[in-house]
């Protein structure tokens, strides 16, 4: 139904399906459930409680929490009270939190527990506009006496008292909401500068979901897991907006560390995750197979090629030969089905990856297992707007736009989007809004082209697609995704702009490489020590050579270095969504980059390490630089 706000969809669900379970959370090993009627009851008391606290039209409510039912209730409650929820990344450091809360002019902050409350209290003097700090989990806060602190249950009790004196107020507030009202302020990841607050209306959010529903059928009986950061637009799209519109069940994990266990227990019907999670799952399978019995390894190695072949042929609409069908059916019983069940995908109907391109090797791996993994595409400023259709999945594409959305390419090859999903603008930044919305079109900043079948192929961020010194086009993300298919490589940054060849700075995966080293009795102490072991360099060079075999000669990696530390969001090297801040990294690691394009065999580095207790230490070491011999030209 068009023209409704998210709170109005909640009211509709509660009236039509009051006893259906809407949301669950695992607490101390037991699933706690709330029906749609109970969901509405929680939201009602919260919304009126916010009104009682003086929360007014246009006020902002910042949310700092893991995925919990209270997060989604508070978002809807803030909307009903006439305000705007502003979700924050729960692992953000003080500097990042201060910027967003201050820039958004948030007057109330919901902090999940003692840890998050302490972050806000440390910033209290720098956030004079914040009037109240709400908290959900009272554990460890018995002796906190700051008058700004209010428990969420206390807010709800105030709301219930207001409801008793003004029983019509809640219905009036819900009815007063308009589709054009701002429903959410979602901050961009800030890969090139400070994050911007994208203002999304109810119409923006609901139209994106309704567009998705025209091509992806969701059912009221479906289940999914809310495990993505609430600050990421993808979580808001599925866990809040789509849930309220469709009525499927949302499950919140017990803790971030139990997500994989919860997926296996729930067996969701659909799941969305960024590339990093799918890459981690591939690494998990590869490592477990290395440690598996001889029989399991043999079966895996014997039947996976048939899975890959079946996946390719399905995407190309080609039939399998009788022998291939027979072997694939046997592989389904012995390998593919058990692996799906082990990963928690025995009921999966659709799995999605978004936020950044996923390497074709990772994508094909899951489809070889019989998992219907598909690429979605969108931006913070428009939500999800493009998806691969079940019968039109092709490697490297992101599919076609929803029926209610237009996607074209500018003369320069930049993706531009038009439709009801396009946001209303950036908060307090008219210049940036005017720069991204022109003549009704949203300029995404992504370089792309349409393949012969009309499917959109996103190459990279337009600003990152450059050229080598000889003019060869260079898209760093394409090569980096291939590198990250390796279970031993966690992150990679490729450099080549205006250079004579491509070089790479690589982060090893500490867990996987550590297990590999222990099996071979290679001793090590720290991450930096392990990364510089000659045996590890030999391991990684084989992975680089694998990637080079799939690349044209000019694009092959000629030199690489294993970094002494992981790229870290706390050090501003990557965003909270794990996107590389290329400009910052290029400046910070300029000495290493210069050495990669010289004859140097190593490079000295000095690094400041911050321990959990706040102590800092300066570490000096030398990083080896390796040349990749040969390099085969791609067929």
pLDDT tens digits, residue range 11-35?
999 999 999 999 999 988 899 999 9
Q: CATH says 275-462 is which class?
A: alpha beta
* 409 φ, ψ (degrees, to nearest 5): -115, 135
pLDDT > 70: percent of the chain? 97
Does residue 439 have a pLDDT over 80? yes
Task: State phi, psi for 607 to the nearest 5 degrees.
Answer: -130, 140
Average pLDDT for 141-153:
93
Residue 342 reports pLDDT greater than 90 = yes
Residue 287 confidence class, pLDDT cut points 50, 70, 90: confident
The per-residue pLDDT for 3 is 87
Per-residue 3-state assignment (H helix, E strand, C coil) for 182-246: EEEEEECCCCCCCCCEEEEEHHHHHHHHHHHHCCCCCCCCCEEECCCCCCCHHHHHHHHHHHHHH
Q: Model's pTM, two decimal places?
A: 0.86
Per-residue pLDDT at 631: 46
Q: Among the listed ranges 159-173, 300-314, 613-627, which one has the minimum average pLDDT value? A: 613-627
In DSSP notation, 393-412 reads --TT---EE-TT-EEEE-TT
Q: Is residue 286 packed enough to be buried (19+ CB in 10 Å), middle (13-18) or exposed (0-12)?
A: middle
The Cα-based distances of 355 to 249, 268, 275, 383, 579 in angstroms read: 23, 20, 7, 10, 9
* Residue 481 buriedness (CB in 10 A; 0-12 / 13-18 / 19+): buried
| Distance set, CA 336 to CA 301, 311, 373, 374 (Å) | 12, 12, 14, 18
Over the stretch 349-366, which tens digit does the pLDDT of each residue have?
A: 999 998 777 878 889 999
The yes or no reply on domain 465-627 and CATH 3.30.300.30 is yes
CATH 3.40.50.980 residue ranges in the chain?
Answer: 6-266
Which pairing describes strands 350-353 and 373-379: parallel, antiparallel, or unpaired?
Answer: parallel
Helix, strand or coil for residue 40?
helix
Distance in angstroms (rounded) separating the CA atoms of residues 4 and 91: 33
Q: Strand (E) positions, 116-204? A: 132-135, 149-151, 182-187, 197-201
- CA dihedral of residues 359, 361, 367, 369 (deg, nearest 10): -130
pLDDT higher than 80, residue 1:
no
Q: How many CB atoms lie within 10 A of CB 597?
A: 15
- Position 615 scores a pLDDT of 61
From the number of C-beta atoms within 10 Å of its C-beta (0-12, 13-18, 19+), residue 608 rates as exposed
CATH class of 6-266: alpha beta
Report whether 412 contacts 462 (CB < 8 A).
Answer: yes
pLDDT in tens, 449-478: 999 989 998 888 888 888 899 998 888 988
Residue 192, pLDDT score: 63
Question: What CA–CA distances, in Å, run from 623 to 58, 229, 528, 588, 605?
Answer: 53, 35, 9, 15, 7
Is 374 strand, coil or helix?
strand
Name the band, by pLDDT with cuts 50, 70 and 90, for residue 256.
confident
Per-residue pLDDT for 571 more than 90? Answer: no
Chain centroid to Cα 537, Å, comes to: 30
How far lies 543's CA from each of 13, 484, 504, 568, 634, in Å?
Answer: 51, 9, 12, 23, 15
What average pLDDT does range 238-265 have in this prediction? 94
Measured distance CA(604)–CA(555) in Å, rounded: 27
Residue 518 has pLDDT above 50, yes or no: yes
Residues of the chain with CATH 3.30.300.30: 465-627
Residue-level pLDDT at 35: 98
Domain with CATH 3.40.50.12780 in the chain: 275-462
């Amino acid at each position: 139904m068009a023209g409704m706000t998210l709170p109005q969809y909640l009211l509709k669900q509660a009236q039509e399906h009051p006893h259906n379970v809407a949301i669950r959370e695992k607490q101390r090993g037991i699933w706690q459930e709330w029906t749609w009627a109970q969901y509405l009851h929680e939201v009602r008391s919260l919304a009126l409680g916010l009104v009682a606290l003086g929360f007014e039209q246009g006020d902002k409510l910042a949310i700092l929490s893991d995925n919990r039912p209270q997060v989604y209730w508070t978002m809807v409650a803030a909307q009903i009270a006439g305000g705007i929820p502003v979700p924050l990344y729960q692992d953000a450091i003080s500097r990042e939190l201060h910027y967003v809360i201050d820039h958004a002019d948030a007057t109330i902050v919901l902090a999940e527990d003692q840890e998050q409350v302490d972050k806000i209290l440390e910033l209290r003097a720098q956030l004079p506009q914040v009037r109240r700090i709400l908290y959900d989990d009272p554990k460890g806060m018995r002796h906190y006496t700051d008058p700004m602190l209010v428990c969420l249950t206390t807010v709800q009790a105030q709301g219930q008292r207001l409801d008793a004196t003004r029983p019509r107020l809640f219905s009036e507030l819900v009815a007063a909401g308009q589709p054009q009202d701002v429903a959410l302020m979602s901050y961009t990841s800030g890969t090139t500068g400070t994050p911007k607050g994208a203002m999304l209306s109810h119409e923006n959010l609901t139209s994106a979901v309704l567009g998705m529903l025209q091509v992806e059928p969701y059912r009221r009986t479906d289940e999914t897991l809310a495990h993505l950061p609430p600050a990421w637009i993808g979580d808001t799209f599925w866990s809040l907006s789509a849930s309220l519109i469709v009525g499927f069940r949302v499950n919140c994990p017990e803790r971030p560390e139990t997500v994989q266990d919860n997926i296996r227990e729930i067996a969701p019907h659909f799941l969305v995750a960024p590339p990093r999670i799918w890459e981690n799952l591939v690494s998990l399978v590869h490592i477990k197979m290395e440690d598996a019995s001889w029989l399991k390894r043999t079966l895996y190695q014997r039947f996976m090629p048939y899975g890959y072949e079946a996946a390719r042929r399905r995407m190309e609409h080609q039939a399998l030969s009788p022998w291939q069908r027979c072997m694939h059916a046997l592989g389904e019983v012995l390998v593919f089905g058990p692996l799906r069940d082990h990963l928690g995908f025995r009921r999966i109907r659709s799995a999605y990856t978004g936020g950044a391109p996923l390497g074709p090797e990772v994508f094909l791996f899951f489809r070889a297992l019989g998992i219907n993994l598909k690429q979605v595409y969108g931006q913070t400023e428009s939500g999800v707007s493009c998806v691969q259709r079940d019968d039109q999945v092709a490697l490297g594409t992101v599919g076609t736009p929803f029926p209610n959305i237009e996607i074209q390419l500018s003369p320069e090859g930049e993706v531009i989007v038009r439709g009801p999903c396009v946001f209303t603008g950036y908060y307090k930044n008219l210049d940036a809004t005017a720069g991204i919305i022109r003549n009704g079109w949203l300029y995404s900043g992504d370089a792309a082209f349409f393949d012969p079948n009309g499917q959109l192929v996103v190459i990279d961020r337009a600003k990152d697609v450059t050229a080598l010194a000889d003019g060869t086009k260079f898209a760093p993300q394409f090569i980096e995704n291939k590198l990250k298919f390796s279970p031993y490589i966690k992150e990679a940054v490729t450099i080549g702009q205006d250079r004579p060849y491509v070089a790479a700075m690589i982060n090893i995966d500490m867990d996987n490489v550590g297990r590999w080293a222990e099996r071979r009795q290679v001793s090590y102490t720290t991450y930096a020590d392990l990364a510089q072991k000659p045996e590890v360099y030999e391991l990684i060079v084989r992975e680089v050579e694998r990637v080079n075999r799939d690349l044209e000669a000019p694009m092959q990696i000629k030199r690489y270095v294993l970094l002494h530390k992981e790229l870290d969001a706390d050090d501003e090297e990557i965003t909270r969504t794990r996107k590389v801040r290329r400009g910052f990294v290029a400046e910070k690691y300029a000495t290493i980059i210069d050495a990669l394009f010289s004859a140097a065999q190593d490079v000295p580095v000095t690094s400041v390490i911050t321990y959990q207790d706040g102590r800092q230490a300066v570490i000096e070491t030398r990083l080896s630089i390796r040349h990749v011999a040969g390099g085969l030209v791609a067929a």
